[in-house]
Structure 1
């Protein structure tokens, strides 16, 4: 087996009275179980970035992240596991060395470079990236969240790994997971993306930028009414729902990505959005390390 391949993650069937009443079936693709730390969509996106890095004979990588980022967490362990020199530009201006995500990244041997919020805003600008490339020669640069052309292949594989269904649903932050999955699903299967950011209508154009083929596909859409206040924000009912899913269905969720996805799905199911007989698969994209950051900030 290629060392950049992990065994495929399992499907978890949910049984609940709400599903019976709506006449639908729901399975969860447990991508949070792909790997203890390099899990979910973060691994799917990293996989082909790491292959591209190898093909370009680069010895180090550089990426961008907020201080509690799932992408930072997964990339740090990937660098440790595969013997890669890792660098990350961190939205600062200071590093909080007690933050569990920062502590983990440093423990994995990653070099962290805190910058001001003003500088961090330049992370996608060509001139800034050119400066970084000269400052970090022989380094492969991966964007924030890992969403780029290389990421699409791993997300396409995720879609191809699924059994046939009527609907596949995923949380959407940067658009990369959705953009890649579009290529891996049959036209008959509807792909629903639940935006976790407020006012994120721009994500439609971002999906088309990442995957121009998406313009020819009519089987995907973004839902914008389930952000629960905006990125990183969540209500008491959402957090209570996450706890209930863990207790009743042994399904661990965090309220920033997967919790919003499942809460949205539960509302749509009980409102009769899905025709009776529909088979639904929801993608658990990992990110459970985020719970440690929420506890650290005393938000849960």
Structure 2
């Protein structure tokens, strides 16, 4: 299947040697790593003759929008367990327009997703469980495909991480191709060392993995004035949209690592733009206040 994910050269201050894999251009709603994660999940859905996608996420989840759009385009039903109190926002409106049913659950109940799923859908033979963020072996396989699309050789590949699924796929692709490339992962969450364990669940050889856990800016969906200023300047200077939750932190990390000498300015670097730009809507007050 052909997808539109070109590699563009970036010209931003010290980042003149950086290329960007534009997975954000794959689709406006099933964007970036969400498309990758759902690709083989969808194949498994059809192989098992299921017709109802059931998944999980927060109120501003890009994954929920992607799953809803994917279901609608493939004539499937979709339902999401949404973490927290009942709200209405831009993301959930899109989900509902794509036909997704929303079930709001308290944060304590949300912790056991398998139990939630079983309570509501145990008697629905058409339902198919998709974990939060799409995390699964199928998702890792889909993200590993990124490496097979890259024709040039890079010293370093960077990606942002939430669950670590995309990183696991990239590392698998690097290992399977026998590349000497180092994979740099920027966790969006505080205390992101656990990402290595999550990656290790899917890919055992971590020798080419390097975690940078100090670019979380306070934790998931947290920001600082420095990060916001960077994102606004970066986007205005390059025309490339990045978000405060994932890709903004990744590009900030690359820029900082070059500036402090941890990366050579002439190194050949590829950044994976994993999409998720609709999530900017949940951060608009932080971007412009």
TM-score (norm 2): 0.93
Root-mean-square deviation over aligned CA pairs: 1.5
Q: For the structure 1 residues 193 and 40, does the alpha-carbon distance in structure 2 shift closer, same or farther, using more than 3 Å as the test?
A: same
Kept in 2, the 8 Å contact 1:187–1:219? The answer is no
Match of 2:81 in 1: 89
1:234 pairs with 2:223: yes
Q: Deviations over 1:119-160 (max 9, x none)?
A: 11111x4x4444344143311110000011110111011122
Q: Structure 1 stretches (4+) deviating beyond 6 angstroms?
A: none
1:8 pairs with 2:35: no
Query: How far apart are residue 254 of structure 1 and its match?
Result: 0.8
Match of 2:28 in 1: 36
Query: How far apart are residue 8 of structure 1 and its match?
Result: 3.3
Q: Deviations over 1:211-251 (max 9, x none)?
A: 1xx32341112210000000010111111111111111111
TM-score (norm 1): 0.90
Match of 2:105 in 1: 115
Query: How far apart are residue 93 of structure 1 and its match?
Result: 2.9
Q: For the structure 1 residues 76 and 128, does the alpha-carbon distance in structure 2 shift closer, same or farther, using more than 3 Å as the test?
A: closer
Tell me, which stretches of 5 or more residues in structure 2 are unaligned?
none
Match of 1:270 in 2: 259
Q: Please list, as runs of the form range in 1=range in 2, the aligned pairs for 1:155-194 lying within 5 A after superposition.
A: 155-162=143-150, 163-185=152-174, 186-194=178-186
1:257 pairs with 2:236: no
Whole-angstrom CA distance in 1 between matches of 2:192 and 2:206: 20
Q: Report the count of equivalent residues.
A: 283
Kept in 2, the 8 Å contact 1:12–1:29? The answer is yes
Whole-angstrom CA distance in 2 between matches of 1:50 and 1:19: 37
Whole-angstrom CA distance in 1 between matches of 2:32 and 2:159: 11
Whole-angstrom CA distance in 2 between matches of 1:133 and 1:276: 53
Match of 2:276 in 1: 287
Tell me, which stretches of 5 or more residues in structure 1 are unaligned?
none
